[in-house]
Amino acid sequence: MTAPRDRHVQPSTVNGHTGPTRKAERAMSVTQRNAATASASTPAAPRLVLATDPGSTVLDGGWWPRSWDPTAELPGLLHALAERHGRIRHLMLNIHAWDARLRRLTVGPDVVHLGWFDTLDPAVLVATTGRDIQVDLLVVPPATPRAAAEWAMTTAADPANLRHAPDILAAALARAGAAATTNADRHEVWDNEGGSDGVAMRGREHQDRR
């Protein structure tokens, strides 16, 4: 009988989707930089889709921040995660993706410690709860088109999903590119057939006949 996969984070290890695997973490290098403690009493609601059963899928949901400012974006995420999973005590993020690197973030009564990793994929955020449960989220870049971002978050939270975070983002952007190409082709056909000029001309011809 196969033993269930462990979701707990081991000391000094982290889940990275382009390096370490989800369930067999390896040691990663981390860089901590000096930063002020941030606090937020009324965080904004995050753009977030969470899986109904954490730990049973490749990812536990998707998050679409509005910017790369951790002080502005993380409090709302932490508040939402705490409502679902209980207190969050630690976050792991990619060191290069974000505009600042805080050591701690105070959200209400809780102080969350932040770790910045140069080998963690930018498309992944790892949260650890007070019970040492690991919650892995897809991070959708803020500038992603809405339709692509919503598809990516929904896919990340889907129990049937087997794709890792970078693959989901690549597929989402490919879908967005295909949609943009289709729209451009439609506009080109419209213009080739006269477009708005043709409509205006037919309108003038109709008035001339009156």
Confidence class for position 192, pLDDT limits 50, 70, 90: low
Kindly report the average pLDDT of the chain as a whole number: 78
pLDDT digits (tens, 9 = 90+) for 12-48: 444 445 444 454 344 344 444 444 455 545 678 999 9
**In a domain? residue 78:** yes
State the Cα angle at 35 between 30 and 40, rounded to 5°: 110
Secondary structure of residue 131 in the 3-state scheme: coil
Q: Give the number of domains in the chain.
A: 1
N- to C-terminal Cα distance for the chain? Answer: 85
DSSP state letter for 44 = P
- Residues 161-188 have pLDDT tens digits of 999 999 999 999 998 876 555 555 555 5
Q: Is 126 contained in some domain? A: yes
- 134 contacts: CB under 8 Å, gap ≥ 6: 7, 8, 9, 15, 55, 126, 127, 128
Residue 205's pLDDT is what? 54
Residue 208 — very low, low, confident or very high, per pLDDT cuts 50/70/90? low
Residue 207 within a domain = no
Residue 173 φ/ψ, nearest 5 degrees? -70, -35
Higher pLDDT, 110 or 209: 110
pLDDT band at 197 (very low <50, low <70, confident <90, very high): low
Taking the C-alpha atoms of residue 135 and residue 153, their distance in angstroms, rounded to an integer, is 14
Domain that holds residue 29: 13-198
| Signed CA dihedral, 174, 175, 178, 184: sign only | negative
- Res. 55 pLDDT band, cuts 50 70 90: confident
